[in-house]
Amino acid sequence: MDMARHLITSAIPYINGIKHLGNLVGSQLPADLFARYQRGRGHEVLFLCATDEHGTPAELAAAKAGKPVPEYCAEMHQVQARIAEGFGLSFDHFGRSSSPENHRLTQHFAAKLYENGLIREVSETQMYSRADGRFLPDRYIEGTCPNCGFESARGDQCDNCTKQLDPVDLINPHSTISGSTDLEMRETKHLYLCQSQMKDELEAWIDSKTDWPVLTTSIAKKWLNDGDGLQDRGITRDLDWGIPVKRGDKDWPGMEGKVFYVWFDAPIEYIACAQEWVNAGKGGDWARWWRTDAGAGDVTYTQFMGKDNVPFHTLSFPATILGSGEPWKLVDYIKSFNYLNYDGGQFSTSRGRGVFMDQALEILPADYWRWWLLSHAPESSDAEFTWENFQASVNKDLADVLGNFVSRVTKFCRSKFGEVVPEGGAWGAQEKSVIDELTTRIRAYEGHMEAMEVRKSAGELRAIWVAGNEYLQEAAPWATFKEDPARAAAQIRFALNLIPLYAALSAPFIPFTARTMLEAMTLDADWPGDIAQALERMPAGHGFAVPDNLFAKIADDSREDWQQRFAGTRD
């Protein structure tokens, strides 16, 4: 097989707090699924993610925690890194958008864009809060809606009547941070990225991507063509914490004290993260992944993200890369996801509603979550987490279909032949028939995984597990053992060999369990090419151990407890 090279990035999670299961299934988890699959197929993979650390919310969260921003971010990065590890997210590097590498690279891109005439200065007025000592983004200002009278209307939009607002329109405006009404419109100068100049180029590029998910292209087209078309975008902010506005390593006259906007520097971190990966001693050459003049021409680059991130990845970031005039690698495929809702509503951090990543790992192993989330990934529309559905899927798919299969095979063998692959007999028509079915299904599974059809992949994998139980029922080694022990030995040898096969195929979904299965069989993972051959990996005499039950069922009591615990404070 040709060795391909896959660059894979997950949308980088914001530093402000621990993410919920909806965030996880929208980017990091499917990205990990794809990365593990491509590695399993023997391809070269660079899988990158990072924390997105700049912006107003980070500064406010640090202030609330009573810590300097750099310290707060460093701590939260560690927290997120540990949780990611707990979920088995197999990043080659988990970087930080505040890294020195990203500072240099972001300033470099700004210089190139400036040289190419794609940056202009704009003088504008923005709401300034004297009490808070800072400019406030529109949504940090609340007041009474001039249209409907709603008293908690945000400066960008009224949550009650959904009309778009300008903060100056609000009646009795005040800061949501301090409550202060001491606000004024103050003049400030900012840099804008001239995306509008690149509209045609971007549109032609989007149009060429006919295989992208509708969700991705429809959002991109909307931004390209809505109203007056693609608008130039401010890429600087008046904040303390961020990447100082410079042209390369030179000062930018008139922009002292300002930083780049987080949505300018965050995607650049995808590249800087590869440099961090090298500087951390994990890799030798980042350019062969990112520079088409240094070998990245044969790289396939895939991005994973929730739908809210699509405009930045389809338009702003490509504009940055193309506008630089340098040979950077552009994304080849953007896989986007809808949202996961929680039990009839949205996940809510402020109301403590829904399950967050740290809590999930406290109550159940990562594979339980990975399986449910991936097999219900919100691909075609928003999806919904309910505890009943979660309980049913985990108990049926994992415990009954896969876990019990491994249990019944290994325990039967131990009681009749000992913990060693039995000798005798040969495969017949039944085994041939199973090999044919598995071959068909595994090739279909590979097709779905290549296409990043997550739910279809999960469905096919489950059918592959079911085939093992069907075989046992038909072969009935417990019956043949009485008449023809050699035949039973061949049957159980065949069934035992399904275990490492299943482990290899299942590893992208449930890596921890897959490892347990392989360790019990004392084998390494090996992606099956020829299935008949793959089922000869454990010959007669090969020792194994009966593993503990792979999955515990979720009891009704536990489910009800969790349902209560994570319901949050409703209204």
Partner RNA sequence: GGGCCUGUAGCUCAAUGGUUAGAGCAGGGCGCUCAUAACGCCUUGGUUGGGGGUUCGAAUCCCUCCGGGCCUACCA
Residues 150-169 that bind RNA (CB under 7 A): 155-157, 162, 164
Nearer to RNA, 246 or 307 (CB): 307
Site for RNA contains 240 (CB under 7 A): no
Nearer to RNA, 230 or 272 (CB): 230
Nearer to RNA, 306 or 508 (CB): 306
Which residues is 141 bridged to in the sheet? 175
Interacting span for RNA (CB under 7 A) from 66-74, 201-209, 394-402, 521-529: 394-402
Strand 259-260 relative to strand 236-237: parallel, antiparallel, unpaired? antiparallel
Contacts 24+ apart (CB under 8 A), 557-566: 558/363, 559/387, 559/388, 559/390, 559/391, 562/355, 562/363, 562/387, 563/343, 563/387, 566/342, 566/352, 566/353, 566/354, 566/355, 566/359
> How far from 540 is each of 366, 386, 520, CA to CA, in Å?
34, 45, 16
Interacting span for RNA (CB under 7 A) from 71-79, 361-369, 467-475, 498-506: 467-475
Dihedral (CA of 431, 437, 439, 445) sign = negative
Residues 54-83 that bind RNA (CB under 7 A): 54-57
Site for RNA contains 189 (CB under 7 A): no
What is the Cα–Cα distance from 278 to 327, expressed in whole angstroms?
Answer: 20
Nearer to RNA, 41 or 456 (CB): 456
Q: Which amino acid appears at position 140 of this protein?
A: Y
Nearest C-alpha neighbor of 446 from the set 437, 431, 435, 456: 456
Site for RNA contains 184 (CB under 7 A): no
Q: Which amino acid appears at position 292 of this protein?
A: T
Contact between residue 185 and residue 125 where contact means Cβ atoms under 8 Å apart:
yes
- Convert residues 319-348 into a mask of x (bound to RNA by CB under 7 A) and - (unbound): -------------------xx------x--
- Residue 540 C-beta: closest distance to RNA, Å: 19
DSSP state of 284: S
- Residue 545 C-beta: closest distance to RNA, Å: 15
Nearer to RNA, 78 or 380 (CB): 380
> How far from 171 is each of 24, 163, 165, 309, CA to CA, in Å?
39, 15, 11, 32
What is the Cα–Cα distance from 167 to 558, expressed in whole angstroms?
Answer: 47
- Residue 44 C-beta: closest distance to RNA, Å: 30
Site for RNA contains 440 (CB under 7 A): no
Interacting span for RNA (CB under 7 A) from 289-297, 352-360, 400-408, 435-443: 400-408
- Residue 383 C-beta: closest distance to RNA, Å: 4
Nearer to RNA, 229 or 297 (CB): 229
CA atoms within 13 A of residue 412's CA, in its CB half-sphere? 22
Site for RNA contains 229 (CB under 7 A): yes
Q: Which position among 411, 432, 443, 565 is part of the footprint of RNA (CB under 7 A)? A: 411
Contact between residue 462 and residue 446 where contact means Cβ atoms under 8 Å apart:
no
- Convert residues 268-297 into a mask of x (bound to RNA by CB under 7 A) and - (unbound): ------------------------------
- Residue 357 C-beta: closest distance to RNA, Å: 16
- Residue 112 C-beta: closest distance to RNA, Å: 22
Strand 183-193 relative to strand 233-234: parallel, antiparallel, unpaired? antiparallel
Nearer to RNA, 43 or 559 (CB): 559
Q: Which position among 246, 247, 370, 376 is part of the footprint of RNA (CB under 7 A)? A: 376
